[in-house]
Amino acid sequence: MHLDYDYIICGAGASGLSLATALSLDPLFSKTKILIIDPEFPKVVDDRTWCFWEEEQSSWDEMIFHSWNNVLFKSDNFSKKLSLNPLSYKMLKSKSRYKYSNQIISKNLNINSSNAKVLDVLDNGEYCQVKTSSGVYKSKKVFNSILNWDLINNTQKYPLLIQHFEGWFIETEEDFFNTNEATFMDFSISQNSNTRFMYVLPFSKKEALIEYTLFSDSLLNQKEYENALNEYLRGLGIGKFSIKSKESGKIPMTVFPFEKQNSKNILHIGTAGGWSKPSTGYTFKNIERKTKALVKFLKQKDNFVKFSKKTRFWYYDLIFLDVLFQNNHLGSELFTQMFKNNNPNMIFKFLDEKTSFFEEIKIMLSFPNGIFIKTILKRFFKIN
């Protein structure tokens, strides 16, 4: 059987590009024929900012737009400045990340691209067929990063929250911001029976990204995001400002078993593969870690069904999302308890899924126990 490609990558956003870059840089894949399919490839836009935490030095440092050593957590009756040392909270703009990958990919003569739209992906056990708006391609393997919201929306078994947000890059007339400190979560705003917070990333004394974020089950109308942002800026005492640009988005917060869509020859990657941390939406560093693991896997194994493994963190995310889904008004209280009672480095270690079981028990005990036990029991009887 003649195949057009060894690998087809559907979607060239963060995860598709990450994989194409890693394969291009690895001599073992120097003869691998790859097709990238994305109507927007190659992207050269700032369509999102990516923030993540890590130790000072990393390969991202050349692209970093700004980083912070301290972050602030705030709610109605609690405020804490968190020193992250040895971690820093880093931000990069998507355009620089896309540019970096596009440069590497363009030098790989074995990579072709198509601006078609992927319509369907099939695995017949021997090879894959990718149906697109401009034809059908056959390949040995497919990596699919196209998120199917219908699939997760139609599943009742697991709680589904959406992380949705509207952010403004603003410039003030007067000096206002402290560039050493980012506001990680400010819950001291109207909660309106949801989990709502503000996120402030200052880049200069006059410039910052202010983002209004919700973890809830439905989106707001556009005016509501705008009113909340204006009200918050007024509350901070920022009188005059101009909006330089905006970003908005939605990320699924779910433990939906994305890996069940995988087959021997099709692997779902990125958010579509469950690489977004369900309880926080953070994905960027997961994409880096999973890409590394995937390249290693490709050198040793053939069956993608074996790529993903469920860990105990899946259960923690499930319970946390269950609690937040059933008690969406309690988000401020739950995050306050977490930041009040734990060292920030431990929290970030936990979110990176690198803690020991003993450390996880300590973190869990810092939450109000009753509601978690009730939810665990409810879930346990639902599952069984």
Q: Residue 14, interface with ligand FAD (CB under 6 A)?
A: yes
Of 172 and 276, the one with the shorter C-beta distance to ligand FAD is 276
**Stretch near ligand FAD under the rule CB under 6 A, chosen from 49-57, 184-192, 196-204, 376-384:** 49-57
Q: Residue 191, interface with ligand FAD (CB under 6 A)?
A: no
**87 forms bridges with which residues in the sheet?**
55
Q: Show the binding pattern over residues 258-287: x = contacts ligand FAD (CB under 6 A), - = does not.
A: ------------xxx---x----xxxx---
Of 91 and 330, the one with the shorter C-beta distance to ligand FAD is 91
Q: Residue 225, interface with ligand FAD (CB under 6 A)?
A: no
Of 10 and 23, the one with the shorter C-beta distance to ligand FAD is 10
Shortest CB 25 distance to ligand FAD, Å: 18
Of 42 and 359, the one with the shorter C-beta distance to ligand FAD is 42
Shortest CB 335 distance to ligand FAD, Å: 17
Q: Residue 331, interface with ligand FAD (CB under 6 A)?
A: no
Nearest to 254 by CA among 197, 330, 317, 316: 317
Q: Residue 308, interface with ligand FAD (CB under 6 A)?
A: no
Of 144 and 191, the one with the shorter C-beta distance to ligand FAD is 144
Of 15 and 375, the one with the shorter C-beta distance to ligand FAD is 15
Q: Residue 76, interface with ligand FAD (CB under 6 A)?
A: no
Q: Which of residues 84-123 bind ligand FAD (CB under 6 A)?
A: 117-118
Q: Residue 38, interface with ligand FAD (CB under 6 A)?
A: yes
Residues that bind ligand FAD (CB under 6 A): 10-16, 37-40, 48-52, 117-118, 145-146, 247, 249, 251, 270-272, 276, 281-284
